[in-house]
Chains A and B, each alone.
Chain A
Amino acid sequence: MKQTNRGLRRLAAAAFWVAVWQLAAMTVNLPVLLASPVETVVRLAQLIPTADFWRSVLFTLGHIAAGYALAATAGTLLAVLASRFAPMADLLSPLMSVLRSVPVASFVIAALIWVPSKRLSLLIVAVIVLPVVYAGTLDGIRQIDPRLSEMARVFRMTRWNRFRHIALPAALPSLGAALSTAMGLAWKSGVAAEVIGIPTGSIGEKLYKAKVYLATPDLFAWTLTIVIISAACTRIVRRGLKRIG
Chain B
Amino acid sequence: MSLNCIGLTKAYGDKVVLDGFTHAFPEGRVSCVLGRSGCGKTTLLRLIAGLESPDAGRVEGLPADGLSMVFQEDRLPPQLSAAGCLRCVLRKSADREARIAEALGALGIDPASDQPVREFSGGMRRRVALARALVVPAKLVLLDEPFKGLDADTRAAAVAFTHRMLAGRTAVLVTHDEADVTAFDAVALRMG
6 smallest A-B Cβ distances: which pairs?
A155-B89, A151-B75, A161-B88, A165-B77, A165-B88, A156-B66
Cβ of A23 < 8 Å from any Cβ of B?
A: no
Known: A156-B66, A161-B88. 16 other contacts (CB 8 A): A147-B71, A147-B75, A148-B75, A150-B75, A151-B71, A154-B51, A155-B68, A155-B89, A155-B136, A157-B88, A165-B77, A165-B84, A165-B88, A169-B77, A169-B78, A169-B79
Chain B: minimal CB distance from A161 (Å): 5
Alpha-carbon gap, A161 to B49, bound state (A): 20
**Distance to closest chain A CB from B87 (angstroms):** 9
In the complex, 10 of the A-B residue pairs with CB atoms within 8 angstroms, ordered by the A residue number, are: A148-B75, A150-B71, A151-B71, A151-B75, A154-B51, A154-B66, A155-B69, A156-B66, A161-B88, A165-B84
Q: Within 8 Å CB of B49, what residues of A? A: 154
Chain B residues within 8 Å of A154, by CB: 49, 51, 66-69
Q: Taking CB as reference atom, which chain B residue is nearest A161?
A: B88
**What chain B residues lie within 8 Å of A153 (beta carbons)?**
51
Q: Among residues 104 to 160 in chain A, which have CB atoms less than 8 Å away from a CB atom of chain B?
A: 147-148, 150-151, 153-157
> How far apart are the CA atoms of A34 and B26 in the complex, in Å?
87
Residue in chain B with minimal CB distance to A155: B89
Residue A166 at the B interface, CB < 8 A? yes
- A157, B89: Cβ atoms under 8 Å? yes
Contact with A along B69-84 (1 / 0, CB 8 A): 1010101011110001
Q: How many residues of B contact A (CB 8 A)?
A: 18
**Considering only CB atoms, which chain A residue lies closest to B66 in the complex?**
A156
B142 to chain A, nearest CB (A): 8
0/1 per residue, B36-58, Cβ < 8 Å to A? 00000000000001010000000
By a CB distance below 8 angstroms, the chain B residues around A156 are: 66
- Report B-chain residues with C-beta under 8 Å of the C-beta of A166: 77
Complex Cα distance, B75 from A155, in Å, reads 12
Residues of chain B contacted by A150 (CB below 8 angstroms):
51, 71, 75
Residues facing B in A160-186 (CB within 8 A) are: 161, 164-166, 169
A169 CA / B79 CA spacing, docked (Å): 8
CB of A245, distance to nearest CB on chain B (Å):
8
Q: How far is the CA of A157 from the CA of B76 in the complex (A)?
A: 13
| Bound CA–CA A186/B187 (angstroms) | 65
Please name the residue on chain A nearest to B80 by beta carbon. Answer: A165
Give the nearest-CB partner of A166 in chain B.
B77
Q: Please, which residues of chain A bring their CB within 8 A of the CB of B71?
A: 147, 150-151
Q: Which of A150, A157, A169 has the most CB atoms of chain B within a 10 A radius of its CB?
A: A150
A147 to B77, CA, bound (A): 10
Q: CA–CA, A140 to B11, complex, Å?
A: 32
Q: Which residue of B lies closest to A147 (CB)?
A: B75
CA of A157 to CA of B51 in the docked complex: distance in angstroms?
15
A138 to B80 alpha-carbon distance, docked (Å):
24
* A174 CA / B134 CA spacing, docked (Å): 35
CB B117 to nearest CB in A, in angstroms, measures 12
Among A64-123, those with CB < 8 Å from B are none
